[in-house]
Chains A and B, each alone.
Chain A
Amino acid sequence: MNWALIFSNGLYAAVSANAVAYMLIASGLNVHFGNTGLLNFGQAGFAAVGAYGIAIPVSQYHWNPFAAMLVILVGAVLLAVGVGLLTLRLRSDYLAIVTIAIAEIIRIFVNGDHFKWLTGGNDGLQGFTRWMENASPFSTNGVKIWAQKIDGYRLWLLVSGWILLGIIATALYLLIRSPWGRVLKGIREDEDAVRSLGKNVFAFKMQSLVLGGVVGAIGGMWLVLDKQSAQPGDFATTLTFFAYTMIILGGVAKVKGPIIGAMMFLFLFTWVDSFLREATKTSAGKKPVLPKWLITDNNYAQVKYIFAGVVLAILVAFRPQGIFGDKKEQAFDVR
Chain B
Amino acid sequence: MNRTHIRLIVRIWLGLMAIVGVALSASSAANAQDTGGTITVNVFNQTKDAKGVATKVAVPGVTIKVSDDTGAAITSGATDAAGEVVLKVPTQTKFNLDLDVATLPKGVVLASGQTEKAVVDFTVGAGIGANKSYNYFLGKDDRLTTGRFKLLLQTLVNGVKSSAVLAICCIGLSLIYGTTGLSNFAHGEIVTLGAIVTWLLNQEGPKLHLLLAAPFGIAASALAGMGLERGVWRPLRKRGISLTSMMIMSIGIAIAVRYVYVFMLNSKFNRAVYYRQYHAQPEWSIGPIGINERDVIVIVLSVAVILAVCYFLLRTRQGKAIRAVSDNPDLASATGINTNKIILMVWALGGGLAGLGGVMFGAAHGLQWDTGFNLLLLLFAAITVGGLGNPFGALVGAVIVGMATELWTWVFPSFLEYKNAAALGALIITLIIRPQGILGRKERLG
Complex Cα spacing A90 to B428, Å: 11
Quick one: given A86-B432, A90-B431, A306-B259, are A312 and B249 in contact (CB under 8 Å)? yes
B302 at the interface (CB under 8 A from A): no
Interface string of A323-335 (1 = CB under 8 A from B): 0000000011110
Cβ-defined contact, B253 with A309, below 8 A: yes
A86–B443 touching, CB < 8 Å: no
> Quick check: A298 and B266 within 8 Å, CB to CB?
yes
Tell me which residues from 90 to 129 in chain A have a Cβ below 8 Å from any Cβ of chain B: 90-94, 96-98, 100-102, 104-105, 108-109, 111-114, 117
A107 to chain B, nearest CB (A): 9
- Cβ-based interface call for B73 (8 A): no
Say yes or no for A316: interface residue by CB 8 A criterion: yes
A85 (CB) vs chain B CBs: closest residue = B432
**B445 adjacent to chain A (CB < 8 Å):** yes
The reply to whether A332 and B244 contact each other, CB–CB distance below 8 Å, is yes
Given A308-B255, A309-B257, A317-B249, A94 and B421 touching (CB < 8 A)? no
Stretch touching chain B among A72-80, A207-215, A237-245: A237-245
- Chain A contacts for B421, CB-based, 8 A: 104-105, 108-109
Instruction: Report which of B236, B251, B259, B443 forms a contact with A91, defined as CB distance below 8 A.
Output: B443
Cβ-based interface call for A311 (8 A) = yes
Asked if B93 CB lies within 8 Å of chain A CBs, one says: no
A94 pairs with B418, CB closer than 8 A: no
Q: Are A39 and B244 in contact (CB under 8 A)?
A: yes
Interfacial chain B residues near A298, Cβ < 8 Å: 266-267
- Known interface pairs A86-B432, A94-B435. Does A302 touch B259 (Cβ–Cβ under 8 Å)? yes
B256 within 8 Å of A (CB atoms): yes
Which of these, A101, A202, A248, A317, contacts B236 with CB under 8 Å? A317
By beta carbon, the residue of chain A nearest B265 is A299
Contact A114 B414 (CB under 8 A): yes
A40 shortest CB reach to chain B, Å:
12
Q: How far is the CA of A188 from the CA of B248 in the complex (A)?
A: 17
Which of B158-166, B190-198, B376-384 is near enough to bind chain A?
A: B376-384
Give every chain A residue within 8 A of B252 (Cβ-Cβ): 241, 245, 308-316
Cα(A299)–Cα(B268), bound, Å: 11
Which chain B residues border A105 with CB–CB below 8 Å? Answer: 421, 424-425
Instruction: Offer 19 A-B interface pairs, CB within 8 angstroms, sorted by A.
Output: A93-B247, A94-B384, A100-B377, A104-B420, A108-B420, A109-B421, A241-B255, A299-B262, A299-B263, A302-B259, A302-B262, A305-B256, A306-B263, A308-B252, A309-B253, A312-B249, A312-B252, A316-B245, A320-B241
Q: A98-B428, A104-B420 are in contact. List 11 more A-B contacts (CB 8 A).
A: A90-B445, A97-B381, A114-B417, A299-B262, A302-B262, A306-B259, A307-B256, A314-B252, A315-B252, A332-B244, A333-B242
